[in-house]
Structure 1
Amino acid sequence: MKHKRHTQGKRPSHPLKPHHPSKITKPASSSSKHKPAGGDKSTYSPRPIIPFTPTSSLLLIGEGDFSFTNSLIASSPPHISPSTVITTTTNDTEALTVEKYPHAEETISRLKQQEHKLVFSLDITKRLPKSVSSNTYNCIIFNFPHVGGLSTHLDRQIRSNQELILSFFKSCIPLLSQDGGIDDKGGNIVVTLFTGKPYDDWNLRELAKSVGLECVRSFKFDAAVYAGYRHVRTIGFREREGDWKGEERGARSFVFAVKDDGRRRRRDVKSNKKAGERGKGTTGGGKKGKGKDSDDDDDDD
C-alpha cells in the first residue's frame, strides 16, 4: 500500500466563564428554487459536516476501541482515500484495550493490515513519542475526552477534565500543519463533547482561547455519519450499563485553529473606526450606537 506522506498554558485558577460561538459560513445547500414550497423542510436535510478531507493527514487521540478510526474506512463512501494513513492513538496498552473492549481486537487487526499507524500507551499530558511528534497534521481529533471516574466530586471532575483538555491543546498546537485546514489555512483541532451539564461547565472555548486558539466553527456531531462507530466509556464496557448508548446523546464538535493575527487586526481596525465615528460630536443629531462583539457569531446547526 502506498502511504500518504504526513505534511509537517496556564492551569485555570477557577472554572472559566463560557464563551459565545463564532460566526461561520454554513454548508452550501441547494438553490432556494429547489427547496420545498411554503418553507416545508420535511424533505430537506443539510449535508453532514466532515471536518477534514479524504486526503487530510489525521491524528486521532484517545480512540478507545478504535471504532471511530475504523468508521473512516468502513463508511460508504469512505471518509478517507485508500492512500491516506491515519495515526490513531489510545492511552491504554494494546492488551488493556482488548480487555476493556473485547470487540476491539478485530478492529485493531484490520487497521494494522491496512497499514494505519496505531500508537498505544500515549499520554497526551506528557511528552509525545517521536512516532507522533515527528509529523504535522491537517486535523487532530479528540472525541469525547474524559479522565474517567477519578472523583465523585463534580468540581474536581470538571477541573481534571479541563486540565486534560489544556494539556491536549498545548501538546497538539505544535503538530498542526501550516495549511490543509477547513478554512484553507493552517491545520485544525477538533474536540467533540456531549451537550448539557457537566460538559458545558468545562468552558471549552475559553480553555482554547487561553492557549491561543479560536473556535472557527461548531456543529452537531452525527454518529450515524460514521458507519460502525459506537461510543465507549473510558472505564471500558460494563454489563450493568444495559442499553446505554452514548452515540444517541446530543453532542457537538468544535473546530479550533491558531488565532489569525491578520484577521484580528482587521477586526480591530474596523472596530476602532466605528468607535471613532461614534465618538464624534452628536450636536447634529447623530446617535450613539452600541458596539458589537465581533468575536461572537453564529454556529452551524
Structure 2
Amino acid sequence: MKHKKHVQGKRKPSHPLKPHHPSKVTKPSSKNGPKPKPSSSSSTYSHRPIIPFSPTSSLLLIGEGDFSFTNSLVATIPPHISPATVITTTTNDTESVTYEKYPHSEQTIQTLKSLDHKIHFSIDITKKLPKSLSTNKYNCIIFNFPHVGGLSTHLDRQIRSNQELILAFFKNCIPLLSMDGGIDDGSGNIVITIFTGKPYDDWNLKELAKSVGLECIRSFKFDATIYEGYKHVRTIGFREREGDWKGEERGARSFVFGVKDDGRRRRKGGDINKRKGGENKGKNNNGKKGKAKDSDGDDDD
C-alpha cells in the first residue's frame, strides 16, 4: 500500500520530534479541566552553538588582527578553553603596526601574554613558517575571515588572490595537524570562516581544499555572539568612519576540514555519507558508478 508523500512548508529541524497521531480526538470534560499541552514547533526549536574544538584542544589561530577572537576564548563565561590550555595565535602585522591599526589591542595582548598564551607577530601564512610554529602539532587550526585586502579593484583578480592565500594556508598548515584530536575523533582539523554570498562563494573553498587532499567534514553558521567581546575588524585596520561597509551584519559560515582518507573514526551517528542520504562509494541507487555527492555534513542551524 502506497503512502502519500507528506509535504511540509517549513524545513524540519535536525532532530524532529516524533508526530503523535491519537486514534480518537476527545475534548476536555469541562471548561476547568486540564488544558492540552502546546505542541512543539520549529519556532520554539533552538540549536546548540557549534564550537569546532574542545576546551583542551591545542589551538593555532591565524591572521588574528586585533586578537579579540583569541581573547574571547578566555573571556567568555564559562571560557571556551580550560585554564591549562595554551593558545598559539598569530598576525601578519608587526607588533607596532598592530597597535597602530588597532589601538585597543595592546591591552588585549598584554592580558593574553600574562596568561602564558603565545603571541606571534609578522607571520605570513603564504611563506615558510618559523620553527616556533612548524615544530608543533595542533588539534585545530583556525583562520577567521581570510582576505588579502584591497589589492585590486578587478573582481576576478581579487578572487584569484584570495584563492592563492587560502591554498598557501592549507599547504602550510596540513603538516602542523596532530594525528588525533579532531571533532570527528580523527586527525586535527582546519577551520575557515568566511562571509556568505558573493564574491566569497566564488572562492570555491571546498574545491580548493580537495585539490590539496582535504575534505570538508562539516559546515555551520558562524555565531559571533557566543564569543564574548569578539568583533570582526577589517584587514586594513580600524577606522572611526567605516562608511557604508556593513561587514558585521553579513552572514558567515565556518567550514571544518580534515585530511582525506586518514582513517578517521566516524561519529556515533554512522558514516558521514549515510547522514547525507545514503550515497556511498560514488554509486547511485541502481549500483552504478556515479559522482558522489559532498559529504560535509552541513548543519543548517
TM over 0.5: yes
Task: Find the counterpart in structure 1 of residue 149 from structure 2.
Answer: 148
CA distance in 2, matches of 1:270, 1:154: 38
Task: Find the counterpart in structure 2 of residue 48 from structure 1.
Answer: 49
Task: Find the counterpart in structure 2 of residue 59 from structure 1.
Answer: 60
Q: Rg larger in 1 or in 2?
A: 2
TM-superposed CA distance for 1:160, in Å, is: 0.3
1:89–1:120 contact (8 Å) kept in structure 2: yes
What are the equivalent positions in structure 2 for 1:6-155 lying under 5 Å apart?
37-155=38-156
Bigger fraction of residues in helix: 1
Gaps in structure 1 of 5+ consecutive residues: 1-26, 280-289
What do residues 204-245 of structure 1 show as CA deviations (whole Å, max 9, x unaligned)?
000000000000000000000100000001100122215855
Task: Find the counterpart in structure 2 of residue 163 from structure 1.
Answer: 164
1:219–1:253 contact (8 Å) kept in structure 2: yes
**TM-score with structure 2 setting the length:** 0.79
1:29–1:47 contact (8 Å) kept in structure 2: no
CA distance in 2, matches of 1:127, 1:167: 10
Task: Find the counterpart in structure 2 of residue 295 from structure 1.
Answer: 294
Task: Find the counterpart in structure 1 of residue 232 from structure 2.
Answer: 231
Q: Aligned partner of 1:142: which letter?
A: F
CA distance in 1, matches of 2:136, 2:91: 18
2:219–2:296 contact (8 Å) kept in structure 1: no
CA distance in 2, matches of 1:181, 1:153: 38
2:219–2:297 contact (8 Å) kept in structure 1: no
2:186–2:262 contact (8 Å) kept in structure 1: no
Higher relative contact order by CA 8 Å / sep ≥ 6: 1 or 2?
1
CA distance in 2, matches of 1:185, 1:97: 36
Aligned length: 259
CA distance in 2, matches of 1:54, 1:219: 19
Structure 1 residues 153 and 177: alpha-carbon distance in aligned structure 2, compared to 1, 3 A threshold = same
- Cα RMSD of the aligned pairs, angstroms, is 2.7
2:282–2:291 contact (8 Å) kept in structure 1: no
Gaps in structure 2 of 5+ consecutive residues: 1-12, 20-36, 265-270, 274-278
Percentage of pairs with the same residue: 75
Task: Find the counterpart in structure 2 of residue 189 from structure 1.
Answer: 190
What do residues 125-179 of structure 1 show as CA deviations (whole Å, max 9, x unaligned)?
1110111111000000000000001111111100000000000000000000000
- Please give the secondary structure, in 1, of the residue aligned with 2:201: helix
Structure 1 residues 188 and 297: alpha-carbon distance in aligned structure 2, compared to 1, 3 A threshold = closer
Q: Aligned partner of 1:92: which letter?
A: D
